[in-house]
Structure 1
Amino acid sequence: MSSDTDGTRVEQLATVRDRVPLRVYIISTVILLERAAFFGCTTTFQNYLQNGHDDPLRPGLLGLGQSTAVAIIYAFSFLNYVTPLLGGIVADTWIGRYRAIQLGLLCDTLGIAILATTAFTQHFHHVGGLAGYIVAICLIAFGAGGAKPNLMAFMIDQCPEQDAREIYLKDGKRVLTDRGLTVQFIYNMNYWMINLGSLAGILTTLTEKVKGFGYAYLIPLGFMVVALAVFHLETSRYVLPMPTQNILPVVFRLIIRRSRGRSGPAAEQSNSSVLESDRASPTPTLTNDDAILAKQVKTAIKSCLIFTPFIPLYFSIDLMSNNLISQAGTMSTHGLPNDIMFNVNAISVMILLPLIQGLLYPVLAKHSIPFPPTYRVVTGLFFAALAIAYTTGVQALIYENSPCGRFALSCGARESGLSIWLQTPTYVLLALAEILAIVSGTELAYTRAPEGMKSIVQAVFILFGAGGAILGVASSPAARDPYMVVVYAVISGVMGVTTAVFCLENGREEGVELGVVEAVGVGSVGRGGNGRPAEILSGTAEGRAELGTVNGKNGGVDVVELKTNE
């Protein structure tokens, strides 16, 4: 601590992430294996459904056609986005996250086993393929609903909230641990692991082409068996938050009253009466202070509203698992399966995420350039719009160069002559959209959620993807030649409008609500040990504290200058 000549006391405060327990890495490994199994299956679904067993150019089995296949896959996506809400509610209010994850993993394993079995029966005996697929995707969707929203929250549970601790780095420098930085590191590590797991699609798509779909689905089945075993390695050491009492009746009543447009003191009194009535009900409310509960519910609702732009974003990202695969089928694949390009997205995320986390954010922090979560979401939305705009141009080129013109998919073994690698910018731009928007949205879902509702809010964030799936199902009749240029152009336009509206609506609010602390690049410098804005942003008339400038990085440490005017 030193003193300036103007009487301002300056303290150099460095913050670093805390040590991450081994059990966090074990849960991260489970996420890796579960996502590897999921993407290993879903990457093959478009070919499995669309193409027939006798297709000379593309692997397939059921031969349902592009539009039907797209509709079924979007329906599956819808289930995957809806079931996490059920999983979050069950975990938070009844059985706890640990049991919910166990049930989810078991359900996943059973679904993939059925998928593999019926793929064999369809291949060799021409029976059971479609019925088995429907049963399997329902089980997989409910399994993901139990595991997906709870694994991430359960991982953060393993790092309990605590006050910042003074520690010494190897060079002897004294620093403070920051749970906000720890949580952000875990989120980024988790997203990197998810994309590493998605590379399992390379194994399954190559196996599908060479050996068939039944053998391909044995690979994700093996991943799930290993995931179940790994999850139980640290059972005795897990931090197991107890499920809370059921607060959903209170939530629903407050939502109804809010939707009726009641606000102000009268509404507050009404909300209090709701809470009083629930206190006398057989199922008591969650918190000791009912007024706090009402505010928590309102906070949760407000937190969920910021997820609205993720509806068209998820719609755009889901194109990678259906229409973009069909588009690749009209291009020169150079001997590769047409559904292997999905993995370019995962590889791009794995390369770009460390660069953005380790280079871009520190540079922005060093120059005090604001880049808080909502700014990152806006940037991600823009990249998604740009990706689909580029895809529109590629589709126009395909129609121009295809021997069948605007009916490229009906050409059989004749291709457009365009290389499949022309799709690469689409997958890279969508990777940037995911890194900036999806990761930030997940972070907002956890950090803004009240205690006792974190799995639920996390699930609501995922639920907004169901809106994207509904858009996909609604647009599936048009998802065929000769309309694909128009389809992509409309999606790109919707993404552009969404980006502009979200930017205008949230730009000013972000600067006021999150302040300079969030704006130093990583969204957690200057945060206290509990992840909330540190006390250095508050003060009195006698001694008002304000956040100074970010002096830069010192071995990966954010150095914050704290000024106190006396």
Structure 2
Amino acid sequence: MLGAIVADQYIGRYKTILVFSTVYLIGWIILTCTSIPSALEAGAGFPGYVVSLVVIGLGTGGIKGIVSPLCADQFKYDHDYVKELPSGEKVLVDYSLTIQRLYNWFYWAINIGSLVGGVVCPLLELNVDFWAAYLLPTIALLVSIMVFVAGTKLYYRPKPTGSIILKAFSVIGQAWKQKALPENKEARKQCKDFMDFAKRDSGMTNTAPWTPEMTAKAAHWDDQFVDELKQAIMACKIFVPLSIYWVCYNNLSNNLISQAAVMARPAGLPNNIMNNFDPIALLIFIPIVDIIIYPALRKHKINFFPQQRITAGFFIGALSMVYAAVVQHYIYMDPLFIETGDSSNVSVFIQIPCYVLIAFSEIFASITSIEYAYTHAPKSMKSLVSALSLWPNCVAALISLAISPAAQDPNMVWVYTGVACGAFACGILYYWLFKHYDDIDEEYRVKKLTDQQHQPTTALELDPMTMDTPWDKDAKL
């Protein structure tokens, strides 16, 4: 949230990434330096670990919500447009599908780093020491910052838009006060969204006139900002139930690792290596979904809309927990586990389908949610709304912490089953609450296309190399 506010209000996304990346790097340097043998002998290990966690948390929290929006900003337009190919054929470039593809491949790229770090770092810790496992990401982060800076001249860098948070609270407060006025009793019956009471031209009749004090406050915004704020709130509503989905996902880094610890593994294979089958599955299946499955559905006139994809993510996440519960049942039934309580003859590779199911659920739920946050956030709030899309992860971590006392043998079958039931029920509730969002989006898209067809267009000079328009983020075709 801090990084998003700084980016949207003060210095922009590009500079914010640079600042917090530097903080992030400092945190890794502290962690690496305090983990070398001489530092451990001097007693710097634990203090350094605590300080580094705080600094790393500040750094990664500052950039995580704004890296993907800056990436999506590089697409030239924020609307559909017609493009003429060198062959003379005219094609419609769909903005939503373009951003969908961009986020798919963004998620694919970050999972390359997840896989490399998830495999190499545990092996370095096992065969060398902790300092070596920490040194690798420190160097990787330093190199990534240098590469990022090297491409500075190539980026489109949106400017900050001023103080959004205070203005948003003022709009909400003004709208609520106006709505509560007795004189607006009839207007409340016409009102579809109470935020319209903060607009000068609300389209409602019989509204009470504003007091001089309200008029003075409203000088800080216009009706467009109110509409943008309504759009942002609409986007943020979907994040609340997503916390239950992320409880499923969080089992990757806790319960499933513990489950792997009591399963039969090849010699030298750490149990915390197994969760890397999740990024492996993502690297395999994201291209298949993006290049084959989605185009095939569109070819057959099947529109897999965002809320449908997120709902599918809920159900597949629930299925992954059902699978984990079945595996846990067979571990409990294994004679070796009954005898020892800490090992079994059940192969650890039986876990792989669980990770594959979680990966598929991420493609539909996780990628779509951050994509939806960007496409439905107004320009003045893209960093903020994208950062808010990560809040369900935080809530899910707290939920996981709350149920952790029960997450131990012999309760694990019921823990996985409970999470599965929660995700399945929440998926049903989610679709019931938000399925109309897909209808709203489609109506808006058709209306926008219709309006563009009736607007006179200005001929724009084409780039002879790309047959595309010159770089202009706000160009209207």
Q: Which residue of 1 aligns with 2:418?
A: 490
- Alignment partner of 2:275 out of 342, 345, 352: 342
- Alignment partner of 2:382 out of 454, 465, 472: 454
Q: Which residue of 1 aligns with 2:226?
A: 294
Q: Which residue of 2 aligns with 1:32?
A: none
Q: Which residue of 1 aligns with 2:450?
A: 535
Q: Secondary structure at the match of 2:84?
A: strand
Give the partner amino acid of 2:316. Answer: F
| Higher RCO (C-alpha under 8 Å, 6+ residues apart) | 1
Contact 2:331 2:337 (C-alpha < 8 Å) held by counterparts: no
Q: CA deviation at 1:223?
A: 0.5
- Alignment partner of 2:131 out of 196, 205, 214: 214
Q: CA deviation at 1:159?
A: 2.4
CA 1:121–1:453 in structure 2 vs 1: closer, same or farther (change >3 Å)? same
Between Structure 1 and Structure 2, the one with more strand by share is: 1
- Superposed CA RMSD in Å reads 2.9
- 2:63 aligned with 1:147: yes
Contact 2:198 2:226 (C-alpha < 8 Å) held by counterparts: no
Aligned length: 430
Q: Secondary structure at the match of 1:199?
A: helix
- Alignment partner of 2:237 out of 305, 309, 314: 305
What is the rounded CA distance, in whole Å, between the counterparts of 1:493 and 1:363 in structure 2? 31
Q: CA deviation at 1:516?
A: 8.0
Q: Which residue of 1 aligns with 2:98?
A: 182
Percent of residue pairs bearing the same amino acid type? 33
CA 1:405–1:162 in structure 2 vs 1: closer, same or farther (change >3 Å)? closer
1:240-296, Cα deviation, whole Å (9 max, x unpaired): 21111102112124445778994874654456668744456xxx44xxxx1111121
Q: CA deviation at 1:515?
A: 3.0
Q: Which residue of 2 aligns with 1:191?
A: 107
Larger mean CA deviation between 106-115 and 192-201 belongs to 106-115
Contact 1:250 1:275 (C-alpha < 8 Å) held by counterparts: no
Give the partner amino acid of 1:311. Answer: S
Give the partner amino acid of 2:440. Answer: E
- 2:145 aligned with 1:228: yes
1:397-445, Cα deviation, whole Å (9 max, x unpaired): 222226453984xx3xxx2121111110110000000001111111110
- Alignment partner of 1:390 out of 314, 318, 323: 323
- 2:286 aligned with 1:353: yes
Matches within 5 A, 1:407-426: 408=341, 411=342, 415-426=343-354
Give the partner amino acid of 1:493. Answer: C
Q: Which residue of 1 aligns with 2:397?
A: 469
TM-score (norm: length of structure 1): 0.70
Q: Structure 1 stretches of 5 or more lacking a match? A: 1-84, 519-525, 527-531, 540-566
Q: Structure 2 stretches of 5 or more lacking a match? A: 189-193, 201-209, 455-477
1:502-540, Cα deviation, whole Å (9 max, x unpaired): 122233x1453133898xxxxxxx8xxxxx95227998x
Between Structure 1 and Structure 2, the one with more helix by share is: 2
- 2:249 aligned with 1:321: no
What is the rounded CA distance, in whole Å, between the counterparts of 2:299 and 2:350 in structure 1? 37
Give the partner amino acid of 2:318. Answer: A
Q: Which residue of 2 aligns with 1:44?
A: none
What is the rounded CA distance, in whole Å, between the counterparts of 1:165 and 1:306 in structure 2? 32
TM-score (norm: length of structure 2): 0.82
CA 1:404–1:252 in structure 2 vs 1: closer, same or farther (change >3 Å)? same
Contact 2:174 2:214 (C-alpha < 8 Å) held by counterparts: no
Q: Which residue of 2 aligns with 1:79?
A: none
Contact 2:101 2:290 (C-alpha < 8 Å) held by counterparts: no
Matches within 5 A, 1:88-103: 88-103=4-19
Contact 2:315 2:423 (C-alpha < 8 Å) held by counterparts: yes
- 2:62 aligned with 1:134: no
What is the rounded CA distance, in whole Å, between the counterparts of 1:428 and 1:378 in structure 2? 17
1:165-202, Cα deviation, whole Å (9 max, x unpaired): 43215x55332444434323321210110111111211
Contact 2:178 2:198 (C-alpha < 8 Å) held by counterparts: no
Give the partner amino acid of 2:299. Answer: K
What is the rounded CA distance, in whole Å, between the counterparts of 1:209 and 1:429 in structure 2? 29
- Alignment partner of 1:249 out of 155, 161, 166: 166
What is the rounded CA distance, in whole Å, between the counterparts of 1:154 and 1:441 in structure 2? 16
Q: Secondary structure at the match of 1:368?
A: coil
CA 1:537–1:427 in structure 2 vs 1: closer, same or farther (change >3 Å)? farther
